[in-house]
Amino acid sequence: MELNFVSVDGNSKNYKIAIGILAGITLLGLICFGISYFKGHYLFGSSNVIPWGMPIVLAIYFIGLSAGSLILSTLVYVFGQEKYKPIGRMAVLLAIVLIFGAMISIAVDLGRPENFWRLFMFFYWNNMTSMFAINGILYGGYFVISIAYMGIILSGSKVWMKRWGILAIGWASLVHMGTGAIFGFMAAREAWFSPIKPLEFLTAAITSGVALLIVVLVLTMKFTGRDLRKDMVTSLSRLLTIFICVLALLIFLDKMTHLYAPERAAVLYSLTGKYSWIFWCLQIGLVIIVPLAILFNKKLKSIKWILVASLSVVVGVFFERFFLVIPQAAFPQQYYPGHIEGVYGAIGSFALTPVEMGMSLGIATTLGLLFMLGLKFMKALPEKTAEELAAAASKAAPPKTEEAVKTDIPAGTDGTPPVENKPS
Amino acid sequence: MERWGMVIDLDKCTGCQECTIACKEENNVPHGSPEEQRRRQDPFWHKVIAASEGEYPTANIEMVPMPCMHCDNPACVQVCPCKATYRRNDGIVMQNFRRCIGCKYCMVACPYGARAYNYKEQEDVEYQRIDPPLRRDLIGCWPFPHRAHGMVEKCTFCFHRIEQALMEGKQIGTEVIPACVEACPAHARTFGDLDDPDSEVSKLLSNRTSIRLREAMGTKPKVYYLTK
């Protein structure tokens, strides 16, 4: 099977409007970051009880999506699942954009973001017993590896694709397990402290990665007027089902180990307390119950329903991260036996402040912007087939026809001739 | 080598918060509004918590003053990615503000809530010091007059007093003590060298029953509490 990849043309009105809106919100996020940098973090919702807020939620969410989609791209380039090939490049592009987003999320959450470079002074100014410093190696390496991976894929060397893909898949798993370890190794935070956290993070990463890939695949194909092959989406949805089941098992085990041990107050609070609805409705509901109900239902096999299930997972995994970082940290620590009176024994509060929300929104739109620019300047989309082109030409108005034809010509550097290839 | 430690007699403590105020004055820790206190966004290097047990009429409330525990096996030092927090040879756990990036990981890891984040720019003059200005050429920027926001702060056992006393050849624990120890009206706190068998802290620990907070965490704190 031969398949050519193209970039989007980026001259259509919709593309320009989308870029404009995303850039505007990104600018807003940048302004919010500036305010928080000069005024201090009291503008955020975080406090001495709940030290981390929305940017960290976003960071671990993006890392999860990134690792998940990179692992998926290796299905094509390492495990030779040729049917996924049309989305291989897009998955790698997403992985790069998302890890970049995760790193900027972490950077803007630092109190002293100008000292961000200190995280990358490995073994010299870094304390290597810190999970953060170890993750600095993992994230930095991951960024470099995925960019090199993209280069190799673009250059088309099959052998190196496979070799580098194996490195990438291993590294991506490490990245996500390391992220889980940031939380799972904290003995002082009862609700986080769990050896299963790294595995749970990895599974959640792959689950959300598959789901995001389905969403991006369907939407991109739709908006750029390409034909979607249903068998591909269906087999991806089967993968999604498996990972959701594994994730459900891991979450169950994690909660059970905490509930079985006598020291269960913090986890009990998170499961039955004021914010437990986030766990039951948004995490368990959206990540496990809704998608499984759709995916196991034989009547709901259309692409639209699979898209709904995937969206539900993508949104739900976000709330899983949210629940982990914010409500689970809110339970006060037992400094001394007995009931601690006053503010030191109270459940921590977290306010969703406008500055923090604006900044988080800005980070998310930055990623959208980078992804759209990536589609324009990188040949990540599968080429249109002759039939699709003919359909587009007959359907569209004269200016659109011109665009559709232009899209077909690869403007890149890999020297592939501008020929139309039929997909297998 | 000295190993500085503190002994707090819970029997004598009345919960007057004088130590908290003295710490704020000595180290110029920013004050906060009641709203910030409620949201837990104001920095405290030292706090006094009240732990209650039982219901009226058989209730008991224990006042527990909590400085940084200056653990021998500190969780914060283990997790700091930038070596900003470190344990000195004399056992004091310090925070280097030039290295701190404000990632707040140490606040997550500390089992005692001893670390506080500086959430906003400090107003220039907060507490008027009555004592003559310190010898900055000898002790550097401590106790610091002005600090930037966005960093994690913590108790230093008033190490600037210890440093100056060592230079001047004074006796630490009797002549020179941290601000909270000095301020305590009930003489509930004692400061000294845990490795010196003649120091007052060592004698107190050998005579009375003592506990350390959350010993199950394995952090080996150097702040001991004498029980009632």
Q: What is the pLDDT of residues A149-169, one digit of tens each?
A: 999 988 888 889 889 999 998
Task: Residue A54: give its domain's CATH number.
Answer: 1.20.1630.10
Q: Which domains does chain B have, with CATH numbers?
A: 4-226 (3.30.70.20)
Give the confidence band of A2 by pLDDT, cuts at 50, 70, 90. Answer: low
CA-to-CA separations, A315 to A242, A295, B44, B69, B167, in angstroms, rounded: 18, 17, 38, 42, 61
Is A181 inside a domain boundary?
yes
Reported as a single tens digit per residue, the pLDDT across B69-83 is 999 999 999 999 999
| pLDDT score, position A24 | 95
Number of domains chain A contains:
1
What is the rounded distance in angstroms from the CA atom of residue A218 to the CA atom of residue A213?
A: 8
Neighbours of A255 (CB within 10 A): 19
Helical packing angle, A354-377 and A85-109, nearest 10° = 150
Residue A313 counted as domain residue: yes
Domain-located, residue A398: no
Q: Is residue A406 part of a domain?
A: no
pLDDT over 50 at A420, yes or no: no
Lowest mean pLDDT, pick from A217-226, A284-293, A364-373: A217-226
Instruction: With a cut of 50, say whether residue A367 has pLDDT above it.
Output: yes
Phi-psi region of B224 (alpha: psi -120 to 50; beta: other; left: phi over 0): beta
What local confidence, expressed as pLDDT, does residue A88 receive?
82
Cβ pair B82:A127 closer than 8 A: yes
- pLDDT for A386 equals 59
Residue A399 has pLDDT above 70, yes or no: no
The answer to whether A261 contacts chain B (CB < 8 Å) is no
- Whether A394 maps to a domain, the answer reads no
Domain around A277? 5-333+345-383
Contact: A340, B50; criterion CB under 8 Å: yes
- pLDDT tens-place string over residues B97-110: 888 999 999 999 99
H or E element, residue B9: strand B4-9
Q: Is A124 on the interface with B (CB under 8 A)?
A: no
Can you give the pTM of this predicted structure?
Answer: 0.88
Q: Tokens in use for B165?
A: 């006393």
Q: Is A20 on the interface with B (CB under 8 A)?
A: no
| Residue in the structure block whose two tokens are 């995760």 | A102
Q: Please name the residue that has the structure tokens 């089967």.
A: A238
Q: Is the Cβ of B73 closer than 8 Å to some Cβ of chain A?
A: no
The reported pLDDT for the residue numbered A397 is 45
- Do the domain assignments include residue A397? no
Residue A388 covered by a domain: no
Q: Of the segments A214-228, A237-251, B157-171, which one has the largest average pLDDT value?
A: A237-251
> How large is the average pLDDT for residues B195-218?
94
If you measure CA to CA, which chain A residue comes closest to B212?
Answer: A336
Q: Which residues of B touch A339 (CB under 8 A)?
A: 51-53
Residue A389 domain-assigned?
Answer: no
Q: Number of A to B CB contacts under 8 A, please give it.
A: 171
* B101: nearest CA partner in chain A: A112
Return d(Cα A370, Cα A387) in angstroms, integer.
30
Q: Per-residue confidence at B223, pLDDT binned at 50, 70, 90?
A: very high
Contacts of A189 in chain B (CB under 8 A): 108
**CA of B24, closest CA in chain A: separation in Å?**
17
Please report residues of A whose CB lies closer than 8 A to that of B148.
112
Kindly determine whether residue A344 and residue B47, on different chains, have CB atoms separated by under 8 Å.
yes
Q: Tell me if B150 and A111 make a contact (CB, 8 A cut-off).
A: yes
Confidence of residue A415 (pLDDT cuts 50, 70, 90): very low
Stretch B77-92: mean pLDDT: 93
**A158-168: b (≥16 Cβ within 10 Å) or e:** eebbeebbeeb
- Chain B residue with CA closest to A116: the answer is B101
B191 in helix, strand or coil?
strand
Mean local confidence (pLDDT), A372-393: 73
